[in-house]
Amino acid sequence: MMHRWARPERLAALRIAVFGIWFGRIATTDVTQYARLPSELVEPVGVMRLVPLEALLSSPGLLVGAKAAALVLCALCVLGVAPWRPLAVGAVLLILGHDGAMKSIQGFVSHSQMAALYAAMVLAVSPAADAWSLRRRRAVEPSEWRYGGPLLACALVMAVTYSMIGIRRLLWGGVEVFTDGSVLRWVVGRTLEYAAYDFDLGLVALEWPAAGAVLALGMLVVTVFEALSPLALRYGRFRVVWLAVIGPFHVATTLLMNIFFWENLLLLAILFVSLKPGVVGDDGKVVNTPNVRVWG
Amino acid sequence: MGAVAWSSRGVGLVAVTLERDPALEGGGEVAPPRRRLWVVWSGVAVGLIGCLALLPVAEGEPGGGTARVAVRWLLEPWLVVGLMWLVLRPLPVPRLLRPEQSVVVGALLAGALLAQSLPMLDAYPLEDWSMYSAPTDSLRYTEFLMVDAEGRPVGDLPIADLVPNTLGRGFMDRLSEWVERAEGGDPQAVEVVEATLGALLADVDEPAVAGIDVRWCHVETPTRQEPARCEVAMNVGR
């Protein structure tokens, strides 16, 4: 099982990446704009149903204050400042509020940034500030699962998210979704639609008669690997093949559909890839093997 | 059927690849007997092939029909949980969690699984967003185009100025629902759309811009000459 003897530095890298992602996301959001939206547009989702969201979103001062607090807490979490847990829990609550407000404005829960959100929750209750932090306390020697447990939990969340989507597509889409031209329509539609990016490779596909079939075949391959994602946590060889499919898949959705989850690529790199060749054995020592391993 | 054949072959190849994983053999964990592993993999293969072969005529969005509810209840969450079980089986849970923690985690998982299995609770994350899982014979998207006084397009409305980039499409979908209601004559919807687009227009400095055209665009049989058909649904002036 991967991450069994993970070192504190790996968990610290995840902490810096996750809270860094949220710092960037929140810093680049002009929250005062929310107050200009008609309240009818807002439909609270998830836990946001428990708070007076409409009233909160209509108060620019409150929004700016919450944004400032979130930025400060995220920055402190990136630095790993003590006391770690209260600061991290506070940051997670504000991140949850930020993400919940955004998703309430669109009226449904999408998977955007969900991996980073769940990872922040896991990190808040883990010893994620034991390394690469401003705390005086030094990291303890890694014991079995001390640092690997949270890493495995985050990897599991990511894998299950992919898996649920893949299984949903297989169950509800059946064969038809891969044979009736839907994939080409999605690609063309998303290319034409307004987006944060402006790639038009999806339209180039229209100039090539076989493009629809190639795209559908690629989608089928991706879907099967998405469905099987949890297996990447345990089986090293599958993990290599899985990464070789899922990584390029995220690049392809950027070029073909203007949908880019760069956060997922970053988290995949931290959670599923190791530059260190070798397998970590039961005694915590790295055993070199002739093959480059991905989190043995 | 080609897809089914491909799928079964692909799953078989994956199973062969995983059969002798050094992480299992050399990592201190007891590798399961090969035969048992093959039984598990056969189950996974049957499940996946079943998804493709037994449900060849997709019905798209969930809901309706006892049979589909039963299939969903039986397959969807349990396939995910089954894969998780397969993966997490070697974890030494008693060493990782205290007994009371195990009970809490187990209860949470059981509750989540039950909630996700019951369609009336609407708790499954993909319930409201099918994530490209339904066949689409006509994809519709909405364009918010800035137009001049003669109705000529000047450019896309800068939605990203109002909402974060990642929310742009979600926000447009939400606004489209209100445009649809406004088209149907709902005065409150007209007010909401005009207020929202008016706020966006107020930020546009370009003097040539006289208003916003909301256009429904349909992608059915896309060609290079006509990738989509668009028609104006509504216009909001300055």
- Determine whether the interchain pair B3/A179 forms a contact, defined as Cβ–Cβ distance below 8 Å: yes
Grouped pLDDT means (10 residues each) for chain A, 296 residues: 87 97 93 84 83 87 95 97 95 94 82 87 93 76 83 92 87 83 94 90 90 94 94 91 96 94 94 65 45 41
Is any Cβ of chain B less than 8 angstroms from the Cβ of A199? Answer: no
Chain B: closest CA distance from residue A252 (Å): 15
- Kindly report the CA angle at A30 between A103 and A192, in degrees rounded to 5? 60
The pLDDT value given to residue B179: 93
The pLDDT value given to residue B136: 87
CA proximity to B199, closest of B183, B216, B175, B180: B175
Check: CB of residue A256 under 8 Å from CB of residue A234.
Answer: no
Which tokens is A282 given? Answer: 């039961």
CB < 8 Å to A263, chain B: none
User: Which of B14, B129, B133 is opposite residue A173, by nearest beta carbon?
Assistant: B133
Over residues B24-49, the mean pLDDT reads: 59
The pLDDT value given to residue B34: 62
The pLDDT value given to residue B22: 41
Other CB atoms closer than 10 Å to residue A68's CB: what's the count? 13
The pLDDT value given to residue B71: 65
Instruction: Give pLDDT tens digits for B38-74.
Output: 776 777 676 666 655 555 444 444 444 555 556 666 6
Is the sign of the CA dihedral A96, B198, B141, B165 positive or negative? Answer: negative
- Determine whether the interchain pair B83/A163 forms a contact, defined as Cβ–Cβ distance below 8 Å: yes
CA proximity to B169, closest of B179, B159, B178: B159
Residue type, B109: L
Which tokens is A215 given? Answer: 């795209």
Which tokens is A108 given? Answer: 């449904």
The pLDDT value given to residue B27: 43
The pLDDT value given to residue B112: 73
User: Which of B21, B130, B222 is opposite residue A172, by nearest beta carbon?
Assistant: B130
CB < 8 Å to A203, chain B: 224, 227
How does strand B229-237 pair with strand B211-219? antiparallel
The answer to whether residue B188 scores a pLDDT higher than 90 is yes
Check: CB of residue A117 under 8 Å from CB of residue A47.
Answer: no
Greater model confidence, B8 or A71: A71
The pLDDT value given to residue A268: 96
CB < 8 Å to B174, chain A: 41, 43, 105-107
Which tokens is B105 given? Answer: 């985690």
Is any Cβ of chain B less than 8 angstroms from the Cβ of A27? Answer: no
Q: Give the nearest chain B residue to A143 (CA atoms).
A: B96
Is any Cβ of chain A less than 8 angstroms from the Cβ of B85? Answer: no
The pLDDT value given to residue A124: 95
User: Which of A111, A164, A194 is opposite residue B156, by nearest beta carbon?
Assistant: A194
List Cα–Cα distances, A182 to A215, B15, B50, B102, B173, in angstroms. Answer: 10, 30, 21, 44, 19
Over residues B122-150, the mean pLDDT reads: 81
CB contact burial A33-66 (16+ within 10 A = b; e otherwise): bbbbbbeebbbbbeebeeeebeebbbeeeebeeb
pTM: 0.82
Check: CB of residue A177 under 8 Å from CB of residue B134.
Answer: yes
Interface of A with B in 102-141 (CB under 8 A): 102-103, 105-113
Residue B1: which pLDDT band, with cuts at 50, 70 and 90? Answer: very low
- How far is it, in rounded angstroms, from Cα B18 to Cα B54? 27
The pLDDT value given to residue B166: 63
Q: Give the nearest chain A residue to B88 (CA atoms).
A: A234
CA proximity to A172, closest of B69, B43, B81, B4: B69
Residue B126: which pLDDT band, with cuts at 50, 70 and 90? Answer: low
Percentage of residues of chain B with pLDDT beyond 90? 24
ipTM, two decimals, is 0.81
Over residues B150-161, the mean pLDDT reads: 84
Query: Which residues fall within 8 angstroms of residue A167, CB to CB, at 6 or more apart?
Result: A227, B51, B75, B76, B79, B80
- How far is it, in rounded angstroms, from Cα B196 to Cα B236? 10
Check: CB of residue B236 under 8 Å from CB of residue B178.
Answer: no
Residue type, B3: A
The pLDDT value given to residue B60: 45
- Kindly report the CA angle at B16 between B10 and B17, in degrees rounded to 5? 90
- Reduce the secondary structure of chain A to three states and give it as a string: CCCCCCCHHHHHHHHHHHHHHHHHHHHCCCHHHHHHCCHHHCCCCHHHHHCCHHHHHCCHHHHHHHHHHHHHHHHHHHHCCCCHHHHHHHHHHHHHHHHHHHHHHHCCCCCCCHHHHHHHHHHHCCCCCCCCCCCCCCCCCCCCCCCHHHHHHHHHHHHHHHHHHHHHHHHHHCCHHHHCCHHHHHHHHHHHCCCCCCCCHHHHHHHCCCHHHHHHHHHHHHHHHHHCHHHHHCCHHHHHHHHHHHHHHHHHHHHHHCCCCHHHHHHHHHHHCCCCCCEECCCCCEECCCCCCCCC
Instruction: Give pLDDT tens digits for B199-238.
Output: 888 888 888 899 999 999 999 999 999 999 999 999 988 7
Chain A: closest CA distance from residue B191 (Å): 9
State the average pLDDT for chain B: 73
Check: CB of residue B74 under 8 Å from CB of residue B113.
Answer: no
